[in-house]
Amino acid sequence: MVFSSLIFLFAFLPAVLALYYLAPRRGRNLVLFLASLFFYAWGEPVYIVLMLFSTLADYTCGQLLARWGERKGRARLVLLVSLAVNLGLLGFFKYAGFAVQAVNSILGTSFAVPQLPLPVGISFYTFQTMSYTIDVYRGQIPAQRDFVAFGTYVSLFPQLIAGPIVRYREVAEQLLGRRENVDGFGAGARRFILGLGKKVLLANNVGLLWEEVQLLPPSGVTVLAAWLGMLAFALQIYFDFSGYSDMAIGLGKMFGFTFPENFAAPYLSTSITDFWRRWHISLGTWFREYVYLPLGGSRAGRLRLVRNLLLVWALTGLWHGASWNFLLWGLYYGVLLTVEKLFLLRRLRQAPQFVRHFYTLFFVLVGWVFFAITELPVAFAYLRAMLGGVPWADTQALYFLANYGVLLGAALVCCLPLARAAEAVQDLLGRRFYLPLAGAMYAVLLFVATAYLVDATFNPFLYFRF
């Protein structure tokens, strides 16, 4: 079942907020825990058992690690059990079919390929629970004794489905000691409205151009159409995913939580290294903390550096999806980051800023080809069109440019860090005039986005499939 969370959320959220703030402070985690389970069960009634099993398994492992922390052998065994359970469930539901297909293709066998629907959000909450047991094992955090508090952390509905990936240490104190206030609630509501606008008004509309380009016959894809299509996809996935992250962070603030930021104007990056410090920050942080650094990071010599980067980025690609295009996409970035780490980054710093921007955006847009198109022959044909292997333009491409040019321009402007511009306007007008104006703008944005959501066809968040 497709998870129609946005529509359900509008009916669900007011009741949860009312129950949450009416409940005594000690009961607020229980309200969130039960509400989150209900929210997940609305879209995934069967797989809620899977999430509860994962929650119980890691809670139990955390208690055992707290008891046996001084006995390294036992503690290591408990950690391995936790990792086996989490990775086993993720591997079975997400990668079993891909693995069987690969074996059949390589060995010529004909094993039945499992057709398992992917539990929504499993990649996100699995990484969250793994961060908990690993950090308890390392002695970086104490085990959480309150099962309801731990269950709230795992299932918290604002960021359950598509992140950001919140490591337990980032909210450990907030689970039992957070304090809600009016200013935080207001800031959260504004952040939520911005995220909703990003998704509904920008991502959905700019994505229409990418859909039209995909419908073109291979002979009808010109250089201009190919670049416009990939630019549209790049903007769609940014506003879709960063919009969800904004909504999650905003909802978290409304309930008294502070979640980590997940995006920092990534399309202003001046290198691929810089891009991945700004894009999906929580995933990059997770892989750095729990895979890259334990392997030795960049401190173990050049050969191991290359190995570590390629391995981490192969895993990053597969995390996004169980198919060859995602593996290739991950390795593509692994190679680029390796080249930058070894020598190119030093030279880039000496180049003019516009050159660094152009270099970064060129390779990012090329990379999105392998992310957006799952069939590799089609992806390579599309890449050939982008690189000039077809006519430069035709009337269809010029129509796309005329019809979507203003929207693309507006979307590009919205990629800028507009919060700084808002601060400048506030300084210019003063709080007395700025606050009513900003309040009216947020109200209009909420009204327009809601009206558009009600009128439009269902368009799920792209990262729900991961």
pLDDT tens readout for residues 204-217: 999 999 999 999 98
What is the average pLDDT value for the chain, to the nearest integer? 89
For residue 279, how many C-alpha atoms fall within 13 Å in the half-sphere facing its CB?
24
Give the total residue count for the chain: 466
Distance CA 273, CA 417 (A): 19
pLDDT digits (tens, 9 = 90+) for 354-405: 999 999 999 999 999 999 999 999 999 999 999 988 899 999 999 999 999 9
pLDDT at 1: 36
pLDDT at 150 over 70: yes
Confirm whether 320 is a catalytic residue: yes
Q: How many CB atoms lie within 10 A of CB 437?
A: 12
Which of 250, 253, 255, 320 minimizes the C-alpha distance to 284? 320
Q: What is the DSSP string of 404-426?
A: HHHHHHHHHHHTS-HHHHHHHHH
- Residue 309: partners with Cβ closer than 8 Å, 6 or more residues away: 292, 334, 337, 338, 341
In the chain, what percentage of residues exceed pLDDT 70?
A: 92
- Token pair of 6 as six digits: 């946005």
The predicted model scores a pTM of 0.91
359 Cα distance to chain centroid: 24
From 320, 336, 337, 453, active-site residue: 320
pLDDT in tens, 235-267: 999 999 999 999 999 999 999 999 999 999 999
- The residue-averaged pLDDT of 316-341 equals 95
